[in-house]
Homo-oligomer: A and B are copies of this chain.
Amino acid sequence: MAVKERIRIGGRSARIQAAVHEAVHQLGALTTRNQVTVPQIAAAAGVTPSTIYRRWGDLQTLLADVAVARLRPIADPDDTGATESDLRAFIDQFAEEMSSPVGRALMRDVFSSAQDFPLQCAAFNREHLSTIAARAAARGEPPLDVDDVIDHVVAPIIYHILYDDREVTPDYCHALLDRLRAQSSPT
């Protein structure tokens, strides 16, 4: 079932959505990521379970919806004045968020649902990088290829978080960025 988003955005519906999301946060933080049930969430949110089932379909979809809401950026990446530092700041923050226990849990929730949630997350990343690329163009700096950044910086970071649960250090991220820079501007 697709999550309903666009209808009845006012009053009660919005309140219930907020209450349910909030309940998931509290219970998810409480029980270290597991064993959460729909009836529990319903009780914590002060609604009946059937409300949750009708709106979200199942637990996985609800968790994925909450995860995407949490991953949704609230602001553009910082403008540090230069593409290189913009990128580094963005990637550092991205890697830190995603490799934290909470980030890993959010990613798992996003991928566990048979929905277009992953696509939304991909769009978030792409938007941010596009913003940085647009700034580069406005400044007259060499153009930034967003796809290259995704393929050779974002993708390896995600891979190591998902597969090996190897630690993703700032040093590792910076090496990826250095390599990208070397590639795009050959001496």
Contacts and interface: CB of A to CB of B under 8 A. Distances in A.
Interface in A152-187: 152, 154-156, 158-160, 162-165, 176, 179, 182-183, 186
Contact of A176 (B60, B122, B151, B154): B151
Interface of A: 33-34, 60, 108, 111-112, 114, 118-119, 121-122, 125, 150-152, 154-156, 158-160, 162-165, 176, 179, 182-183, 186
Contacts of A156: 150-152, 155-156
Contacts of A158: 155, 159, 162-163
Nearest to A150: B159
A151 B162 contact: no
Given A108-B114, A112-B111, A179-B183, A122 B163 contact: yes
- Per DSSP, chain A at the interface is helix
Contact of A152 (B121, B152, B164): B152
Nearest to A112: B112
Which residue, of A33, A114, A155, has the highest number of chain B Cβ atoms within 10 A?
A: A155
Nearest to A121: B163
Contacts of A155: 155-156, 158-160
